[in-house]
Amino acid sequence: MVWIQGSGMAEAHPVGFRWVMKAKERGAKIIHVDPHYSRTSALADLYAPIRAGSDIAFLGGLIHHIIETDAYFKDYVVNYTNAATIVNEEFKDTEDLEGYFSGYDPETGTYDRSSWMYEGGEVASAAGQREHSTQAFSDRTGAGMMMGNVESDETLQHPRCVFQLLKKHYARYTPEMVEQVCGIPRETFLEIADTLIANSGRERTGMLVYAVGWTQHSTGVQMIRGGAIVQLLLGNVGRPGGGVMAMRGHASIQGSSDIPTLYELLPGYLPMPRAREGEVTLQDYVDRGGSARGWWANFDKYIVSLCKAWFGDNATPENDFGFPWLPKISGNHSHFTTMMRAMDGGLDGLFVMGQNPAVGSQHSGLQRRALGHLKWLVVRDLADLETARFWKDSQEVKGGEIRTEDIQTEVFLMPAAGHVEKEGHFTNTQRLLQWRDKALDPPGDARSELHFMHHLAKRVLAHYAGSTDDKDWPLRNLHWDYSEHGQHAEPNAEDVLREINGYEVATGRHLSGFTELEADGTTACGCWIYSGCFADGVNQTRRRNPGNLDDPEGGWVSPEWAWAWPANRRILYNRASADPDGKPWSERKKYVWWDEEEGKWTGYDVPDFPAPKRPDYKAADDAVGMDAISGDDPFMMMADGRAWLYSPSGLLDGPMPTHYEPFESPVDNLLYPKVPANPAALVWDRNDNPLNPPRDPRYPVVASTFRLTEHHTAGPMSRNLPWLAELQPEMFAEIDPMLAAKRGIEDGGWMCIVTERAEIEARAKVTHRVRPLEIAGRTVHQISLPWHWGSHTTSEQGVTGDTTNDLIALSGDPNVSIEDKAFSCNVRAGRRHNSSTARLAHAVDNELKLSGDHGAEEPEKAGQRGDSQHPPELEDE
């Protein structure tokens, strides 16, 4: 069974979807839940339309149904999840507090999470503690290490055990409620729920596939948590054919999270050091980021080895390996916050490499305006694009709202090398590191980003070589030793990969994996989870033996094709594919098991467990590190060795997913009428970021976005290409016939889509692929918008069109600062008369004001907004 929700997999990941079709040929059931009937839906056995943004109500309905019908996989749930763990009595559920969990502070719009903890202990989440991106550091909100022994009740009857809390939390998420909130008829919902149940258990497994249809919401992280809870209840994690598959959208978006160009992370998901009162010492960072129990007890080895990779011989035990000189974050420095700093005149320069925020970022009209407030902008790409030429022919310039001559931004547009013109590796959506050989030279002055960074670094390092200023210590002591080759002095990509893999400092020997890392400075490693990718001095990411795909021993998962992190493991937590005694749950779903004769774990994959740890090993109460993980605790990254149905720490907006409406919704929150939207979510409350008021009759239509096979994201990689431009030439909107008739919109004719931010035009595709939904007794219409078009193409055969992201407001999930793409709007027939963002002009009160450092403007929390306006009642659409 393959359950796809929050993803248009056939459209956006067509070759990956080929394997879904292979599974279907072998009898697998395919389920698709999506606002928009697409190529994915057409090939599914079961399709349900859902109102955009209401997925948690649906997922809560599944959890409710699975528990009510006693359909969960009991042996798995009791032994491998925290279902039996007892939560302390301070905890209050949203059922007790009308839509809030305990600990909510309406002043700051944040939660104090201390009351969410287990009874008898505190636990650390998998990646160390997290803090609210705008929350000042507080010892109370951090999870700390797990102390003592937590209480549990394996009969699952204790009223405060996780299982009972889950049951209570979702008690009102009935099939009737799902129908009212999501617009999915209860029969369809029950058919899907029963199909999931029938295809899970000892003999069968099912997988969940999601993509940015889930992540891009003010409740995005909790949607994914909801999917994970369903999969855990059904026993579908760590087993072949199971799992939660995130379909990621760019060739190396997984890699750029692992080796992050993200503000709050260091390589390998180590947190960036965060400022607090007093000095942030290495010991302090390790105490807060690590965990006494479980795998994260190794945390100190990873950060020290990273410092050794960065500062080489200059990183010593005496100077805490250079750690004290790393920059510290304080609050939110995410993309949106940074662009608002630019808008307010606080940011001098911006590098943009292979990204097109003028089209691809939310509230793109404001993004383009913000670019005009920079002193300088460096864009690296294959061809000219909207982000580089915002000053020349953007909507705002063409509309006369901004004059080119008034924009003082200096722009460097640098020619970049394409994927076949350089060597290096991408990490794909299944954590597979795949090397590309170089096939030809880049043209003219085009260079790789590796070349650019290397030669920029050499210039800057030369400038600081003689400095004695303490703040320049990291530059003076940076280990930057990459060999160069060829006429352009291209740095050697494999040198960089060797550093990422890690080496023994004394000998330079390549490490075989992260288990060799030490915290005493004897090892260096640029990204601990990638350690092993250059084991034995061989570039393992360049391996190209697919093996025999029909033979489980030799190639079910192609173990010799490229290299997967961690440790070339293809399925994470695969210890869970065997029962607590170490035997496969069934012969049919055999994957990793305990070999009593050999005294080790073995199977078709690299076991995700210490190889010699017996299944009957019982951790002592006072054990630390991996000794604290028992032989039947497969989820060893967690301090308690269990998968979490309930998150006592790690998330900022609740221990269990809860249905809230999108910020802009024409519908009330039927489950918690007093709390319309996620109370912990981020809002940028600025004049130039106006929101459509909730239930405003001017914005009765629900909108969401989707991708097309023939285009790629914001378009620079597809709109200039003659073949692709011909296949999908024009921006369009899918609209249902009833709404189209009401507004006089004709199939193939022009229509406009309007929000508080913008008005864009599109060709109307009048179609039953989007259908009006019955929501709480009234009809709600939805439209679906692709978002690949922008104002510029470099080619006569290329295509341009209006930019969907002009419509969308800045807002953010509190955990990850990713926006809400389910929004409200209105539609009308005809074309627009002004530039798409003309209506923004009156809201921008600091147009081209270039002086003054305003500092980071922090987003506000939803709770801080005084939503006292009561819009008039909606007319029935």
Partner 1 sequence: MGESHRPKGFKRLRGLPVVGRAADWGMGPHAVSKNTKTAGSRIAGLKATESVCPYCAVGCGQIVYTRDGELVDIEGNPNSPINQGTLCPKGSASRQLIQQPGRLTKVKYRRPGGTEWEELDLETAMDMIAERVIRAREDHWQTHDEHGWKVDRTMGFAHLGGATLDNEENYLIKKFFSAMGAVQIENQARI
- Distant-in-sequence, close-in-space partners of 511: CB < 8 Å, separation ≥ 6: 501, 502, 503, 504, 517, 523, 525, 531, 532, 535
Decide whether 110 or 448 has the Cβ nearer to partner 1. Answer: 448
Report yes or no: 72 and 66 within 8 Å, Cβ to Cβ: yes
Closer to partner 1 by Cβ: residue 230 or 527: 527
Does residue 231 come out as left (phi exceeding 0), alpha (psi in the -120 to 50 range) or beta? alpha
Which of 23/329 has CB closer to partner 1?
Answer: 329
Whether the CB-CB separation of 51 and 182 falls below 8 Å is answered with yes
Minimum CB distance to partner 1 smaller for 104 or for 311: 311
What's the closest the beta carbon of residue 25 comes to partner 1, in angstroms?
Answer: 13
Whichever of 32 and 248 has its CB closer to partner 1, that residue is 248
**Residue recorded with tokens 């509309």:** 399
In whole angstroms, how close is the CB of 203 to partner 1 at the nearest point?
Answer: 26
Is the Cβ of residue 440 or residue 776 nearer to partner 1 in the bound state? 440
Separation of CA 77 from chain center: 26
> Can you tell me the distance from the alpha carbon of 372 to that of 772, in angstroms, rounded to the nearest whole number?
41
Closest CB 121 distance from partner 1, rounded Å: 30
Among residues 68 and 406, whose Cβ is nearest to partner 1? 406
Q: How far is the CB of 695 from partner 1 (least distance, A)?
A: 28
DSSP 87: B
Q: Which is nearer to partner 1, 508 or 855 (CB)?
A: 855
Residue in 210, 108, 100 with CA at minimum distance from that of residue 653: 100
Residues 6+ apart with CB under 8 A from 159: none
Record the tokens describing residue 298, joined without a space: 């190794």
We find the least distance from the C-beta atom of residue 561 to partner 1, in angstroms, to be 5
CB of 815 to partner 1, least distance (A): 12
Q: In whole angstroms, how close is the CB of 702 to partner 1 at the nearest point?
A: 21
Report the C-alpha gap between 778 and 875 in whole angstroms: 9
The burial class, CB within 10 Å (0-12 / 13-18 / 19+), for 277 is exposed
State in angstroms the smallest separation of the CB of 670 from partner 1.
30
Q: Write out 757-825 in H/E/C secondary structure.
A: CCEEEEEEEECCCCCCEEECCEEECEEEEECCCCCCCCCCCCCCCCCHHHHCCCEECCCCCCCCCCEEE
What are the structure tokens assigned to 113, written together? 């999470």
CA–CA separation, 696 vs 679, rounded Å? 20
Q: How far is the CB of 273 from partner 1 (least distance, A)?
A: 9
Strand segments (E) across 615-670: none
CB 244 within 8 A of CB 281: no
- Residue with smaller CB distance to partner 1, 479 or 828: 479
CB 744 within 8 A of CB 694: no
The DSSP 8-state label assigned to residue 661 in this structure reads B
Find the shortest distance in angstroms from Cβ 797 to partner 1: 7
Write down the least CB distance from residue 300 to partner 1, Å: 19
Judged by CB, which is closer to partner 1: 802, or 819? 819
Q: What whole-number distance in Å separates Cα of residue 333 and Cα of residue 320? A: 26
Please say which residue, 446 or 639, places its beta carbon nearer to partner 1.
446
